[in-house]
Each structure stands twice: as C-alpha cells, then as structure tokens.
Structure 1
Amino acid sequence: MTGWVLMAEAARGPFVESQHFGAAAIAGPEGIREAWGDAGRVILPRSAIKMIQALPLVTSGAADAARLGPEHLALACASHQGAEMHTRRVADWLDALGLSEADLRCGPQMPSDRAAREALIRAKETPTQLHNNCSGKHAGMLTLARHLGAGPEYHLPGHPVQIACREVFEALTGAPSPGYGIDGCALPNFAGRLDGIARAMAWFATAHEREDARSRAAVRLTEAMMAHPELVAGEGRTCTELMRAAPGAIAVKTGAEGVFTAILPEQGLGVALKIADGAARAADCAIAALLVRLGALDAKDPAVRRRMEAAVLNRRGDEVGAIRPATALG
C-alpha cells in the first residue's frame, strides 16, 4: 500500500476486521496545509469535481441566457438519486430549452431513491436518462452546447464543452491533465493530482474574495449547492446530510470509487480525499472526520455520528461493531 495511509477501519467487538487506506489533503490559499499519504498521486476525481465542470456553464453566459436559477446550478453539480424532485426539475429544464430526455447522453440508470425505484417496478417501466444520477450535469452541458452553437454530441472528448471543462480543470488544479477515463455517465473524467484538486477546492472557498468572472461563477455554484443540498444528492445521502449539519458553511461532493471533496468558504479551505479500495463507507467516514477536525462539523451531530461511528449490525439489529476514522484524522 505504498503512498496510502490508514483512513478508516471496521471493528467487530474488540477486533479490527477491515481497514481502508487512502490519501487526503487540506489546502488553503497559500497551498497544502496538511496531507495524509501521497497527496501528489494522480487520481480520477469522478463526480467529486462537478462544480469545476459546471464553471463554463456560468462563465460563458449560458446559465444567464437560459435563465437558470440556484436549483438548476445545484443540479448541474449533483449526483442525485433519481427522486421525483430531481427528475421533474431536469425534465422541466430540458423542456425550457426545447429539448427532451432523448438529447441526454448519460444513459439510463435505475434510481437509488426507493420511492422512485418502486414506482417504476410497480408500473413495469424501465428507468430513463432522467433517472441517471448525472442528468443535471448533462442538462447543464446541453445548455452550454446550445449556447456555443456546438453539436449535440457534447459528451465526446473533442467537443467544445469538454475542451472547456478540461481547460478550467487544468487551470484550477495547476497542472495539465495526463489523460482521462470515461465516467459512468459517458463523459471524459480528467485525471489530476489529489493535492491539485484540494487546491482547486480552496480556490472555490476563497472565490468570494475576488471579482473576476470565474470567481463570481464559483460563488454562485457553491452557494447553490449549500442552499439546495437535497438536490445535490438526496434524502439520507452523505452530501445532503453533512451540508444540512452545517448550513451555509460547507459544500461537499462525493465521487465514485471513494473520492470526496469539500469547500469551506468561511475558512478559505478545500479538502480532497481518495480511498484506495474505493469504499464509499470509508470515504464517508473520512470526510466527516476531516470536517470535524477543521471545526466545520460537530462530532455530536447525528448525521456526523452516523458516518464517524457507523454501526455494524447483525441480522437481529444488534450493534456489534462500528466503522471509525483512523486516529490520524482526529
């Protein structure tokens, strides 16, 4: 596990049963303040940097031309669970553009929202692209493509939309991306150094101190996420519950394969972490612990405790262990 350090462990009774290793970095405007493991390693940030991908939507003027409000911008940064409150808003957004679900390129996905999933099963219907957890981001990219007069295949790496996303990603992380992997929603996901991603989150956190167009766009996106945490993820989800635990103080975003980012505007700090084995339970635990360490969250808050002391239950519902952060994160 070269370059990785212990981030979380699962205990059953007095025994440590599983361990999750990873790396993390906390950045301020001056650079990296704290790091765990090899924070210089290159990762695929997945959905944890959707706020970066949404910047061209705003800076181009496309968001204002389409009269997008905070709810739209929150959805553009979202990995939602396909609940009715998500799919309805995305459908209305596309309709206002004169587009439809067929114009999306994210592919269908069974919703993780239980009510939406069961409604589809009862109706013997299949999920649509609106249910895809990235449909809000794709609606944003369609909006940008329309504004630029570019073609409909906005998901291709050489499309002007993706070129704009790559340029801003490289600018904020401070280095050229060495390449990309195709994400679950068919978009290129540009790779970058973990510490560079933390610095990008710190840039978002200090955007309110600047007046340039890109910084003003970052403020709008961060404020939209904090104002509508239920649209960024959904009920019961870590992003939503942690933002609700500190209203207006943090914006947090998960990404597949154990990635998490956080923006702390009041402190001017950014956080990025990656769990080596991709375990979401460890990423949830670690991001909560780091935000408690920074004073942004109260360790006694029920939503925080559910992540930092996640109960391990047996089939009877008895608590027989817990998932806890590594002591180095405290």
Structure 2
Amino acid sequence: MNAYTYAYRGGLIENRHKVSLAIVSPTGQLLAYSGNPHLAAHMRSSAKPFQAQALYLSGAVERFGITPAEVALTCASHDGMQQHIAIAANYLHKIGLDTSYLACGAHLPFDPASRKALQQAGQAPTALHNNCSGKHTGMMAAALAMGVEPRGYEQPEHPVQQLNLQTLRDLSSFSQIAYGVDGCSVPTFVLPLAPAARMFALLAQPEAALPKYREGLEAVFKAMRQHPDLVAGPQSIDTVLMEKIPHLVAKRGADGYYGMALRDTRWGHIGITIKIESGSNEAREPMVIRLLEELGLLSPEVELEWRRPLIRNVRKLEVGHLEARLELCWA
C-alpha cells in the first residue's frame, strides 16, 4: 500500500513525495501502515514529549515547581510569539540560569507577525526565540536536578542525553537507536517508524508503560492538551489539530516527520508516526489531514488550509496545489 503527496502545477503532477507511516498499539502491535513501517527515520522535534520525561525521572518538576505550561513549552516547537518568549524567559530564570547557557542558537520567530515586529523594532532574535528553547531549558533543569553540570547538556555523553536515550529504548522496545545532531545541536534519535509509533501509543496509554514512566507520560499528555497554543502557535497545525480533535496530542518534527498520540479511538489508544521521505514539510501537512480523515477522526467538512494547500509564485499568483493520496494496509 502506498501513500504520496503530489504537487500539481498547471494541472499536472510536478513532484511526488513518497510517504511511509505506521499506526501502532501500546503493546507494539502494528495495526495499519502505508509505505514502509520499518523505515528508519530521524524523529527530530517529534521526540520532544519523550525527551521531556527527564523532568519527571530526575525530579526537576518537584524541585523547581515546573508548571504544566512550562512542560508544554518543553515539548514545543513554538512559533516565537510573545507568550512563548515570556514563558521561556521565566522558566530559565526559575532554574537559576540565563540565556548564555542555551546551546540551541537563535533564529527569527516562525510566526510572521512576531518576526515582522522584531525586525521593525531593529532587534535581533535571541536563543529564547528558538523554537526549541523550552526543550533546552527542560534539559538543563533535569541536569541540575540530577546534580550534574548543565553546561554541555547538548553533548551525547552528557547524563541528560544518556537518560533520554535510555527512555527512548525503554518506551520503543528498540535497543539499537542511532543518533545524529539536530538543528538545535542536541542529539536527534533514529528509530524505525513502528517502534517510534509505539512511544506515541504509550503517551496515549501511560498505564501500559513501565511504572517509572507512567507519571511523566500522563503529565505530558495533559500539559500538551491543556496548552496546545504553547506547543506550536495558533496558526500552526499541531495547535489547530489539538484544538479541533479531542484526545489528540500532535507533534511535528523537521524534515517531514510527524507523531500523534490518540486516545479512545475505535482501535483503542494508538500511536502514529509519519515520514515524508523527501523531507518536505509542505507535503507533510496534507498527508496528516488525509490520514485523520481516513481514520474517521476528522470531518472533511472542517475547513483547514493544509488539506489542499495552494502553491503560489513570487507575485502571490496561484500556480498549483498539494494533494495527499493514501492507501492503508490493515494488519
């Protein structure tokens, strides 16, 4: 069974983006797939809900009084809006550190209005504007709670990164996890889609995980559901889907990756991972929408810009569109 997102220009297919995806139960059973459910892929930012488990395993939540909003920001690829920057700054201050400790680097906000406002004010972005600033602050909070030096937290050999690696091994039941360097300089983990989807299934059903992970998985699920606006932004797909679909946690990753945890579906609690093999984020969004419609979790009548996004040229003229086509194989 195959899945593709097609880019049309002038009514003809210009590009074909092949897609692989896996739908998995909390026990690791492959329920459905398209393409190659065993494709090894970098999870990128879709791993953040599981990297955030270090807050609970280390005792950082209790030590620093970390709030659900700050947990949500730890899991976020935020759009760099004022509310995101304010929470990130307070979070960093709460653990007694400043921006000099952040190893994520600086980039302009993803949110167009926030980016324009910063540029018009003649201000340069700081590391707080980085979409991963919450995750990095969370990693340093875990380091402090573990009693280890926070500087160098981004290095693979640092105790926090070793804890993250073991967490992914335990939750995925996949031991041979490779890694590269993410855009924000921390390790990005490489897993086949099906074991990665199992982690999202356990996020949906924490009681099926090892006991030491249950509290953190439940807390992360609730924090992301409670604060979807902090996970991304009001115009971003993660936030919009979590606002429109009950019992869903959604997390985008760079280069065409996507992960979802869903409670109370007709198949029970499930986890989903998607990889656009070309790495296109533009091709990813239509496939996410198409899959949710295929599963009966999203009505085709709900208006969403990502269902059939337009392609425009530099003059803003409509020259084409993207369209997802999906065949699922049910195990």
TM-score normalised according to structure 1 size: 0.92
Partner of 1:204: 203
Letter in structure 2 aligned against 1:75: L
Asked which structure has the greater RCO (Cα within 8 Å, sep 6+), the reply is 2
Task: Verify the 8 A CA contact 1:72 1:136 in the aligned structure 2.
Answer: yes
Task: Verify the 8 A CA contact 2:33 2:328 in the aligned structure 1.
Answer: no
- Separation in 2, partners of 1:316, 1:128: 32
Change (3 A) 1:93 1:212: same
Partner of 1:184: 183
- Separation in 2, partners of 1:63, 1:186: 24
1:240 aligns with 2:244: no
TM-score normalised according to structure 2 size: 0.92
- Separation in 1, partners of 2:326, 2:74: 35
- Separation in 2, partners of 1:101, 1:114: 23
Partner of 2:60: 62
Letter in structure 2 aligned against 1:191: V
- Separation in 1, partners of 2:115, 2:317: 28
Task: Verify the 8 A CA contact 2:250 2:261 in the aligned structure 1.
Answer: yes
Deviation for aligned residue 1:297 = 1.8
State percent identity of aligned pairs.
33
Deviation for aligned residue 1:200 = 1.1
Of 178-187 and 287-296, more deviation after overlay is shown by 287-296
- Separation in 2, partners of 1:109, 1:240: 21
Partner of 1:89: 87
1:25 aligns with 2:9: no
Letter in structure 2 aligned against 1:257: D
Task: Verify the 8 A CA contact 1:8 1:285 in the aligned structure 2.
Answer: yes
| 1:117-174 CA distance string (max 9 Å, x none) | 2232223221110001000001111110110111121111111100000001111121
- Separation in 1, partners of 2:176, 2:80: 31
Q: SS at the partner of 1:236?
A: coil
Partner of 2:299: 298
- Separation in 2, partners of 1:165, 1:272: 19
- Separation in 2, partners of 1:36, 1:321: 26
Of 18-27 and 202-211, more deviation after overlay is shown by 202-211
Deviation for aligned residue 1:7 = 2.2
Partner of 2:41: 43
Deviation for aligned residue 1:13 = 4.9
Deviation for aligned residue 1:86 = 0.5
| 1:192-219 CA distance string (max 9 Å, x none) | 1111101111111111567934112101
Letter in structure 2 aligned against 1:175: F
| Aligned ranges 1:209-228 → 2 under 5 Å | 212-228=211-227
Task: State the Cα RMSD in Å.
Answer: 2.0
Task: Verify the 8 A CA contact 1:9 1:17 in the aligned structure 2.
Answer: yes
Partner of 1:133: 131
Of 156-165 and 284-293, more deviation after overlay is shown by 284-293
Of 207-216 and 222-231, more deviation after overlay is shown by 207-216
Of 147-156 and 307-316, more deviation after overlay is shown by 307-316
Q: Which runs of 5+ in 2 are unaligned?
A: none
Task: Verify the 8 A CA contact 1:7 1:329 in the aligned structure 2.
Answer: no
| Aligned ranges 1:67-82 → 2 under 5 Å | 67-82=65-80
1:260 aligns with 2:261: no
Q: Which runs of 5+ in 1 are unaligned?
A: none
Q: SS at the partner of 1:265?
A: strand
Letter in structure 2 aligned against 1:280: N
Partner of 2:194: 195
Letter in structure 2 aligned against 1:26: I
- Separation in 2, partners of 1:311, 1:155: 38
Partner of 2:327: 328
